[in-house]
A and B are shown apart, each in its own frame.
Chain A
């Protein structure tokens, strides 16, 4: 996180959870960045990352695990999906590079 703050970067977590669930989750895992609620799945739809999950015979659509880096101009600089998106290293590296290129 220190690396990110140094590179003018913030992190926003996004899921379909309610603000109340996210508040409890934030407390449990000790995150300092905002966790956002996409309860209407508007953002997941706009970003095309709704994924079907089967739970006990029921069908649900939640987020595909995805990391996207948006630069200061609002443009996408990095997209990572699936299990590798759990590891933030490459996203962090992109932000550090973005920061250096602006110096």
Chain B
């Protein structure tokens, strides 16, 4: 199983960077001053992370990337 997983990773790692992409930017309507929509998501350590937990404590940079292993 492990070997298959490694093979899959390698395969995707090789092919995804060459994928055809549309040039248009998917523009968000969110603007400076808007309240950031709250969310709870699982981290890479399988822990729940909630945006509003950082309220009054930290500024948060949300870095949305296309896919892991693609340099995106």
Interface residues of A (CB under 8 A from B): 4, 7-17, 19, 21-26, 28, 34-38, 42-44, 46-56, 62-79, 81-82, 85, 88, 91-92, 95, 98-99
Interface of A is mostly: mixed
| Interface residues in chain B, defined as those with a beta carbon under 8 Å from any beta carbon in chain A | 9, 16, 19-22, 24-39, 41-47, 49, 51-52, 54-69, 72
The answer to whether A24 and B65 have CB atoms under 8 Å apart is no
Asked if residues A12 and B61 are in contact (CB atoms below 8 Å), the reply is: yes
A15 surroundings in chain B (CB, below 8 A)? 64-68
* Contact assessment for B28 and A42 in the assembled complex, using a CB-CB cutoff below 8 Å: no
Contacts of A72 in B (CB 8 A): 54-59
Asked if A74 and B36 make an inter-chain contact with CB atoms under 8 angstroms apart, the answer reads yes
Which chain A residue shows the least CB distance to B43?
A: A34
